[in-house]
Structure 1
Amino acid sequence: MKHIFLCITGALSIILLTIIFSSCGSSNLLVEDTVLVNVQSYVRGLDGQAEKYFKAEKYREALELYKGLKSTKENLLYKGIAAYHVGEIDLSLRSLIDSYSNGNRDKRLYVYMADNYLTQGKYEQATSFYKNYLRFIDKDSPERNETIHKIKRCGFAKDYKYVDQRAFVENLGESVNTIYDELSALQSPGNPNKYYFSSNRNGSTGGLRSEDGTKDNIYGSYSSDMYAIETTGGNWNFVSSIDPVLNTPRHDIIQDFSRGGEILYYLKTNDFKEGSFLTDTFRIDRELVKFPRVMQCPIVGDLGDRDIRVFDDNTYLFSSIRKGGYGGYDLYFLTKEDGVWSDPINLGPEINSSFDEITPYLTSNGSKLYFSSNRINSMGGYDVYESDFGLETSKWSKPANLGLPINSSRDDIYFRLAADGLSGMMSSNRVESMGGHDLFMVYFKNQIQDQMNLIYTVPFLKVRESKLLEEVSKAEEIAIAKEDKKDSIGVIIESEEEVVVEAEEKKDYSGMKKREVVIASLLYGASENIINPQNLTQLNRVIETLKIFPEASVEITGHAVKEGLPEFDLYFSIKRAEKAADYLKQNGISSNRIFLRGVGTQYSIVSSSNVILSNKYNRRLELRIVAPSEVPLRVIYNNPSIPDQSKDKKAKKFTAFQSGLKYKISLIATKQMYKDPIIRIESDVMIDKEIGTENYQYTVGIFETYSHARSAKSRLTSTNQYNSISIETYIDGRIVDRNNISSLQSKYPDLINFINYEMSN
């Protein structure tokens, strides 16, 4: 982008010269006219450059230019399309709406408005625009059928988004992901904290190249190389390129490891449609004869084969667009007996459809299959599905959509389970990505048991090939939906109001009557639906209060019921709190006024013996508004009424923690889940997070005096495992900045011990 900024600087210089010459009088009119012509020529040049970038699908570069160009209806349309492709959805919508307001009726406006609303999960609005778009498409056009499919997907997603959520999903962050694509992440067979993946990021081998493979530093794209990442203490370390012998100027897409990890399988391709599958022993001390070799089996890249899953040395799964399938990409398997590979066998109509099925993953017991598909019952694009093979029926179950948040309104692909069955990794270009496809970690509430048993005979292979091949269906016929000609673009487009950020200066409350606000906890249930109508009432009440009283802030504490391992329940509890915080931020509450905490299952208000009430009230987010004493505000917390015999006394300990001086031991600040055994051993484990920061602060213990905290710290450091831990002070449940502690010792005399021992250095 460097040349763009140089050009802009040049334009400003020309305009400045124009102003100077204009001030010199009429004698310089000829010079002024010449300079104005130069400015106009320059602007036309930028226009043309933006168009070239746009046509080359260099949308990020095109968008930067369109932002500075005159807002004609055409430029606004192109800016909106480019913004959509780089994930700037709000800018895309504004630009498309402005283009329409300026008289543009280009058909692309309708489809990109629809795509934007689909990305936001606004399925009714997306449907209306897709229907409008149908008016521009010939009845025999394949694009018409695809648009009808999108309408049907919106209908499915509108209802399916309310199903119970099975996991939490987290972007690996900027230390791993880029504005380019990160694909096909594989867990190292020998190190569960290490992953390998492919990415077409800046710096990849070969540099920028055109489609024919020649160097093109302006309109070219990077090819994918293979990289490695590793996590230490919950944080991802820097990304490193793997063996330079393997990475080439072509796309090198990692596929899988052999079961023992001795062999790496990868695809070398120019266009992702054709290519060669290679194997490598993945050793540093190479011999010439052990350089990558072409894989010797009936999986052939030039036939459209891709996405290999190596179950064991004798069983492979893959996807292919080869002839004889059910339409689009299908899933196949093949086996080797006595050193001879079978022909590829289609997994059949129970798994495959007239749409695309790609990126298969088979669990360690061979009974559960995950894959991605863009079939009708998806949330928008490619979704992740699962199917179980029944030993009694000898059939695969109907593929089930994994739902939100694993799936999104865009493409979710390359899902693979981790070895422990507790988490997985996938690639997604959802709106939360940094650009292109990002790597996302999936944390399951319940362990996937199918991953825990390793077998050597795949159950579905017991079914005879003839049974798998006997059912061959024709391509599915989709009835063309009737067009709703009454739908109008004017119904959907609305002017967007800017969020008003409240002033930070202190207000004068003299003469203001004390305001009473009643706040209740947010209950989310098994569906994980934080932003439901009942909770919106509470959140909007908090927003109104914080806007009236700028000095006030809000604490959101996530509680949970036992669903998995303690470290997972703890982590999920703060991730739910983040969802509520996102709603507050979207409605004008600044990040520095929101404090989050996750406490997992430790402070239940209902005993687990009462299952019904426990599931209802322990799945909650507690809201607490904090304000200086001079603020005329009284908050009344409307806590649920629990029968005495069902109350859990542990909740009182957390209430006490939120009053007066307490001490906690700070363990670690991490950007990811912390899985150390200490989470299960120590009591009062919490995660704190200030909105706007990346780190989750893990702490343990609640201590009334510094001496008790110091004893606990000595016990932990004596093991030589936790030498970096520290003691921190909390007042009324909030950590105190060490710079402010001295001013508080008169009110809290025990602080003098903390000052003498912890701050003396």
Structure 2
Amino acid sequence: PVAAVLNFGEAVNSKGADFRPLLSPNDPQRMYFSSVRTGNTGCDRGGSCGSDIYFTELENGDWQPPRRLSVFLNTIQNEVALGFGKVGGQLYFSRGETLFSGDILVDTFREDVTERTLFSTEFSGPMRAWEGDCAPFFFNDTILLFASRRPGGFGGLDLYVSTFSHGEWTPAQNTGPTINSPYDETSPFLAADGRTLWFSTNDASRSIGGLDILHTTYIDRTLSWSPPRNPGMPLNSAGDDTDFVLPPTGDRAFFSSSRKEGQGESDLYLALFDTPQKEQTETSIPAAFPLVPAYREAVAGASEAELAPLDIFENGGPVEFSPLFYLPSGELFPAGMRDLRALAQLVKNWPQAKIILAAHCDAGDPSPLTGQAVLQAVSDSLRRWGAPLGSIVLRNAGAAYPANEENPAANRRVDIFIANPAELPVAVRFNEAAAAGSAGAFFRKAMNSLFYQVQVPLTGGAVLDDLFRLYPDGIAEQSLASGTFSFGVGMYLTFEQAEQWRRNLAGRGFPQARVAAFVNGWEISKEEARQWVELFPNLGEYIGQ
């Protein structure tokens, strides 16, 4: 959540339009931006001014009055700073008769005339700035996102993406209907994880007024975007909120806004977050979303030996796990075998890791015990690769928690959970397969918080099959350390709900039924519950039962 939004004040903002903040890649105390203000190089006698590029520096906690860049960059035309090369040696900027058309140029960005070329080089890429393509964002010098009204889009400005490969930029591809609408989408910003995209839209169904800042996440497993979310106020307003960028720390954001309490037509603002945005402090493999399809194809076509993640933990992470998807026959996809090998290596390196593997099947599968066979194959593989199994728990949730009711393939999966990630010296990320609002999303949320089950000890697959028919939302559990089985009914968020079902089961011939409490998917004793009761007050009822 956004804790506060601060205007840069009259020391930086003008009565005109101040926009397009850019953070220096080499100096965290310097910010560049573009401005249409009195005194610019291109002001005429009537007082009409074009846009020039400025910078301001943070000194002793205050942003200093901005300084205009040299005449090598600012001319009588409109100049707008667009972005930097990865190491900061190049500046991308636009120059044109208006703010909405012109050329995109690349400059060496050196003020000393002896160290720079006299003329800037024209950018050779898929953007057609002279036709109105705008708001480019450059990611690692190899990914370009921009807004365009070109034919074939969904209406208004759409976001497009291109990659630099084999010495040239690929034809731009529309980012699709999840992001784009019949209205305008502009100002893309791709976070360091290469999966989280921030952008602005004036789609009335997603905006509280004017252009609002939204964010969405690319899901590698499904090659799709999550529904964009509006962070709401105070980040957004009734005015136009655009040009969102995050610094490497992820603890704040810079953007421009035309909200009515500003100094001029549009002002520069600083947003402070309660906690750093994790997408800006993490990296991914592959580096960015356009590279995922080819990467997945390469991984899926590799042999099991080629997929062994021998060096995956050497750099301290982050390590990324996806659900282990399997075929109706019960065989894991090759990409799932890769993640399973990585999991085996993790457990070998850090045996203290508490691992939960939760299998799900589709409602159309012959039996909820389908997941049981998959879990058996998974545990056999882990054992074969030398992973210590003492801290691994297997759960079979049957078909009760589908990830996507319209896609059976998304439901046949084994979810991976680590109950104590803070105790590991490596950062771990989990890709989400479940659609928002689905039973699968509820399952994952409960597994990362507190829930209760009514557990029944059992033996034999026949009894397990009977219990699944009686209680289709039940979960079968096996401890690999002891080999014992149990069956848990429900995932209750309060002790009172669980206790009610315990009495129900006791009256149906299961007098040994008991309420079990789980934190982060791991069962805890009453003594351990006392350590969690401050965070989860409902545990007080469990402790006092």
In the alignment, what sits opposite 2:79?
A: 252
Shift in Å, 1:248: 1.0
Q: Aligned AA for 1:306? A: C
Match of 1:200 in 2: 36
* 1:188-238 Cα deviation digits (max 9, x unpaired): 101111100000111000213xxxxxxxx33x5211100000111211112
1:434 to 248, 263, 267: 263
- d(CA) in 2 for partners of 1:424, 1:608: 34
1:169 is the counterpart of 2:5: yes
Match 2:122 to one of 290, 294, 298: 294
Please give the residue correspondences for 1:639-654 in structure 2 after superposition, counting only pairs within 5 Å: none
Amino acid at match of 1:343: P
1:428 corresponds to which letter in structure 2? Answer: S
Structure 2: unaligned runs, 5 residues or longer: 298-530, 538-545
CA distance in 1 between counterparts of 2:39 and 2:76 reads 11
> Which structure has greater strand proportion?
2
- In the alignment, is the contact (CA less than 8 A) between 1:192 and 1:419 conserved in 2? no
Matching of residue 459 in structure 1 with residue 289 in structure 2: yes
Q: Does 2:171 align with 1:361?
A: no
What does residue 185 of structure 1 align with? Answer: 21
Residue 277 (structure 1) aligned with residue 121 (structure 2): no
CA distance in 1, matches of 2:90, 2:532: 48
Given the alignment of the two structures, is residue 407 of structure 1 paired with residue 236 of structure 2, yes or no?
A: yes
- Of 198, 208, 217, the residue aligned with 1:370 is 198
TM-score (normalizing by structure 1): 0.38
Q: Which amino acid aligns with 2:92?
A: Y
Displacement after TM superposition at 1:612 (Å): 7.2
1:441-467 deviation line (CA, Å, top 9, x unaligned): 0111121111112456313332379x9
Paired residues for 1:630-669 under 5 Å:
none
1:53-202 to 2 correspondence within 5 Å?
165-202=1-38
Name the structure 1 match of 2:53: 226
The answer on 1:313 being equivalent to 2:141 is: yes
* 1:274 positional shift: 1.7
1:322 CA drift (Å): 1.4
Overall identity of the aligned pairs, in % = 35
Displacement of 1:166 after TM fit?
A: 3.0
Q: Which runs of 5+ in 1 are unaligned?
A: 1-164, 209-216, 468-606, 614-761
Partner of residue 479, structure 1 = none
Is 1:390 matched with 2:219? Answer: yes
Output the amino acid matched with 2:50.
S
Aligned residue for 1:225, secondary structure, equals strand
May I ask how many residue pairs the two structures share in their alignment? 300
Distance in 2 of aligned mates of 1:338 and 1:354: 34
How many Å apart are 1:285 and its aligned residue? 2.8
Tell me the distance in 2 between the aligned counterparts of 1:609 and 1:460. Answer: 44
Q: 1:234 to 1:201 in 2, by over 3 A?
A: same
1:610 to 2:446 alignment: no
Ranges of 4+ aligned residues in structure 1 off by more than 3 Å: 286-290, 607-613
Q: Is the 8 A contact 1:356 1:375 kept in 2?
A: yes
Q: What is the match of residue 433 of structure 2?
A: none
Q: Distance in 2 between matches of 1:166 and 1:199?
A: 26
Letter in 1 for 2:212: D
- For the 8 Å contact 1:198–1:227, the answer to whether it is kept is yes
Give 2:34's aligned amino acid.
S
Deviation at 1:360, TM superposition (A): 0.3
Q: Which has the higher helix share?
A: 1
Pair 608,262 (structure 1): closer, same or farther in 2 beyond 3 Å? farther
Q: Which amino acid in the other structure matches residue 182 of structure 1?
A: D
**d(CA) in 1 for partners of 2:130 and 2:148?**
10
Q: Would you say the 8 A contact 2:190–2:198 is kept in 1?
A: yes
| CA deviation after TM superposition for structure 1 residue 251, in Å | 1.3
2:251 is matched with 422
Deviation at 1:284, TM superposition (A): 2.1
Distance 1:464 1:303, change over 3 A: farther
Alpha-carbon displacement from aligned partner over 1:24-75 (angstroms, at most 9, x marks no partner): xxxxxxxxxxxxxxxxxxxxxxxxxxxxxxxxxxxxxxxxxxxxxxxxxxxx
Displacement, 1:243?
2.2
Counterpart of 2:70?
243
- Equivalent position amino acid for 1:450 in 2: E
Q: Deviations over 1:461-501 (max 9, x none)?
A: 32379x9xxxxxxxxxxxxxxxxxxxxxxxxxxxxxxxxxx
Q: Show the 5 A alignment for 1:260-275.
A: 260-275=87-102
- For the residues of structure 1 that align with 2:129 and 2:77, how far apart are their CA atoms? 14
- Cα offsets for 1:311-354 (capped at 9, x unmatched): 02221111111111110000011112110221111111111111
Q: Which amino acid aligns with 2:29?
A: N
Q: What RMSD over aligned residues (CA atoms) do the two structures have, in Å?
A: 2.2
Q: Paired residue for 1:340?
A: 168
From the CA coordinates, give the structure whose radius of gyration is larger: 1
Confirm or deny: 8 A CA contact 2:161 2:172 kept in the other structure: yes
CA distance in 2, matches of 1:222, 1:308: 23
Alignment of 1:306-705 (within 5 A): 306-376=134-204, 377-454=206-283, 457-463=287-293, 610-611=534-535
CA displacement 1:539-597 (0-9 Å, x = unmatched): xxxxxxxxxxxxxxxxxxxxxxxxxxxxxxxxxxxxxxxxxxxxxxxxxxxxxxxxxxx
Give 1:608 deviation, angstroms. 11
Q: Distance in 2 between matches of 1:405 and 1:442?
A: 9
Whole-angstrom CA distance in 1 between matches of 2:275 and 2:169: 37
Look up the equivalent residue of 1:418 and give its one-letter code: P
Kept in 2, the 8 Å contact 1:389–1:396? The answer is yes
Q: Spell out, residue by residue over 1:717-750, the C-alpha distance to the aligned partner (whole angstroms, 9 max, x if none).
A: xxxxxxxxxxxxxxxxxxxxxxxxxxxxxxxxxx
